[in-house]
C-alpha cells in the first residue's frame, strides 16, 4: 500500500487553527495509508472495522477514541456497513503547548513511546457529548480558543473514564494495554486465555494484578468487557442477540442472558428496546 504524507495546511483555511471532519469509510481506498505533520484525535461513532496503525491491525468499534501522534502511520479498513469516525486535527505547536502547560511530567497520551498510540473505549453517551461539543465548535471560528477548549474537554472525559474505571494509583503498562485491546470477538472467543495472551504474563500473575488494580477476579474483568461490548452492539446495531452472544464467546443463550442481566440488570432484548427508543 502506497504511503502518502499529509500537511495541516492541506485541510485548513487561512486563520483556522484546527480541523474537524466526519468521514464514513467504506473501502480501503477511502483513506490511504498516510502520515502527517500534525496531531489528531478520532473517535468511532458508528460501524466497525480496523485501524491499520504502525504495521499492526487493531479492531475498532463504536466508542473507541484514539490519539494519533505526528509520527504515526495509519489507515482504516471498514466492516461491511462502513465505519463512521469524527476527526479533530491540530498543529504540533498546539501539542507542544499542551505538553508544557498540562502534561510536563507525563509520558502518557500523545507522549507515550510505545508502538501503539493511546486509545480508550468510552461509553457511547460520552462519545455523543464529545461529538456535540465538536459540532458546536466546528461551526464557530476555528481559533485557538475553541480548539484548545475542545481538546481540554476531551482530556477531561478521558480523565473521568480513568478515575472511574481504575481504582489503583499505579497500573502496569502491560495490564493497561491489555484492558484497552480486549474489546472484540477475536479475543472474546478465546476467553480468559485471550486476555492473558495480550498481557504476555502467566495467568496467575495476571489474576493477582487484576485483583490488586481493579478489585475483580480475572474472570469478572473478562466478563465485564464482554457485556460492555454486548451492550454497545445491542444499542447500535440490529445484529441478532444469538450472534452477539457468540461474538462474546458464549454459545449458550441462557448463560449469555444471565451474564448480561448480572451486569446491566435487564434482559438483552429489553436493553435493546430501551436504548434504541427514540424520544
Same domain, 204 and 123: no
92 Cβ contact partners less than 8 Å away, ≥ 6 residues apart: 37, 38, 39, 70
Q: Which residue has the higher pLDDT, 101 or 184?
A: 101
Hey, what's the cell of 147? 480548539
The three state secondary structure string of 104-145 is CCCCCHHHCCCCCCCEEECCHHHHHHHHHHHHHHHHCCCCHH
Same domain, 192 and 96: no
* CB-count exposure of residue 200 (10 Å: 0-12, 13-18, 19+): exposed
Is the Cβ–Cβ distance between 22 and 135 less than 8 Å?
A: no
pLDDT band at 278 (very low <50, low <70, confident <90, very high): low
CA 75 to chain centre: 15
Residue 183: the pLDDT is 84
Domain CATH number, residue 58? 2.60.120.10
Q: Which of residues 139, 165, 191 is at a domain's end?
A: 165
Q: Is the pLDDT of residue 34 over 60?
A: yes
Q: Is the pLDDT of residue 155 over 90?
A: yes
Average pLDDT of the segment spanning 22-50: 87
Residue 276: the pLDDT is 72
- Rounded CA-CA distance 134/143 in Å is 13
Residue 75: which domain range? Answer: 4-165
Average pLDDT of the segment spanning 94-111: 92
CA 254 to chain centre: 29
pTM, to two decimals: 0.61
Same domain, 51 and 154: yes
Q: Give which of 157, 155, 222 is closest to 187, Cα–Cα.
A: 222
Same domain, 251 and 232: yes
Q: Is the pLDDT of residue 196 over 80?
A: yes
Q: Is the pLDDT of residue 167 over 60?
A: no
Number of domains in the chain: 2
Residue 73: the pLDDT is 94
Same domain, 240 and 154: no
What does pLDDT average to over the chain?
A: 88
Q: Which of residues 118, 148, 165 is at a domain's end?
A: 165
CA quadruple 28, 73, 160, 43: dihedral, nearest 10: -20
How far CA 177 is from CA of 135, 163, 181, in Å, comes to 30, 16, 6
Same domain, 37 and 138: yes
Hey, what's the cell of 49? 472495522
- Rounded CA-CA distance 44/85 in Å is 4
Average pLDDT of the segment spanning 209-222: 91
Q: Is the pLDDT of residue 279 over 60?
A: no
Hey, what's the cell of 10? 492541506
Q: Is the pLDDT of residue 57 over 60?
A: yes
Q: Which of residues 149, 165, 181 is at a domain's end?
A: 165
pLDDT band at 170 (very low <50, low <70, confident <90, very high): low
Average pLDDT of the segment spanning 206-228: 92
Same domain, 115 and 194: no
Q: Is the pLDDT of residue 168 over 80?
A: no
Same domain, 153 and 80: yes
Percentage of the chain surpassing pLDDT 90?
Answer: 53
pLDDT 10s digits, 177-191:
788 788 889 999 999
Same domain, 160 and 190: no
Residue 145: the pLDDT is 92
Same domain, 161 and 213: no
Residue 113: the pLDDT is 86
Same domain, 75 and 156: yes
- Rounded CA-CA distance 92/98 in Å is 10
Average pLDDT of the segment spanning 17-31: 82
Place of cell 465505519: 83
Same domain, 124 and 221: no
Amino acid at each position: 500500500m502506497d504511503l502518502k504524507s499529509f500537511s495541516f495546511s492541506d485541510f485548513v483555511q487561512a486563520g483556522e487553527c484546527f480541523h474537524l471532519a466526519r468521514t464514513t469509510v467504506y473501502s480501503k481506498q477511502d483513506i490511504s495509508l498516510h502520515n502527517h505533520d500534525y496531531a489528531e484525535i478520532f473517535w468511532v461513532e458508528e460501524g466497525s472495522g480496523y485501524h491499520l496503525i504502525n504495521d499492526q491491525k487493531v479492531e475498532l468499534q463504536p466508542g473507541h477514541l484514539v490519539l494519533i501522534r505526528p509520527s504515526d502511520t495509519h489507515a482504516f479498513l471498514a466492516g461491511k456497513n462502513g465505519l463512521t469516525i469524527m476527526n479533530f486535527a491540530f498543529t504540533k505547536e498546539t501539542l507542544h503547548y499542551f505538553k508544557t502547560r498540562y502534561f510536563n511530567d507525563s509520558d502518557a497520551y500523545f507522549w507515550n513511546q510505545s508502538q501503539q498510540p493511546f486509545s480508550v473505549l468510552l461509553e457511547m453517551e460520552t462519545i455523543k457529548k464529545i461529538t456535540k461539543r465538536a459540532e458546536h465548535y466546528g461551526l464557530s471560528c476555528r481559533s485557538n480558543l475553541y480548539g484548545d477548549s475542545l481538546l481540554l474537554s476531551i482530556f477531561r472525559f478521558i480523565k473521568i473514564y480513568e478515575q472511574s474505571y481504575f481504582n489503583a494509583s499505579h497500573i502496569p503498562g502491560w495490564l493497561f494495554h491489555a484492558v484497552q485491546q480486549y474489546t472484540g470477538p477475536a479475543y472474546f472467543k478465546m476467553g480468559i486465555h485471550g486476555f492473558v495472551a495480550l498481557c504476555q504474563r502467566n495467568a496467575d500473575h495476571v489474576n493477582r494484578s487484576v485483583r490488586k488494580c481493579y478489585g475483580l477476579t480475572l474472570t469478572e474483568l473478562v466478563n465485564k468487557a464482554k457485556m460492555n461490548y454486548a451492550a454497545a452492539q445491542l444499542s447500535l446495531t440490529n445484529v441478532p442477540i444469538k450472534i452477539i452472544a457468540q461474538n462474546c464467546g458464549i454459545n449458550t443463550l441462557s448463560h449469555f442472558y444471565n451474564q448480561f442481566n448480572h451486569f446491566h440488570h435487564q434482559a438483552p432484548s429489553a436493553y435493546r428496546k430501551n436504548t434504541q427508543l427514540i424520544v
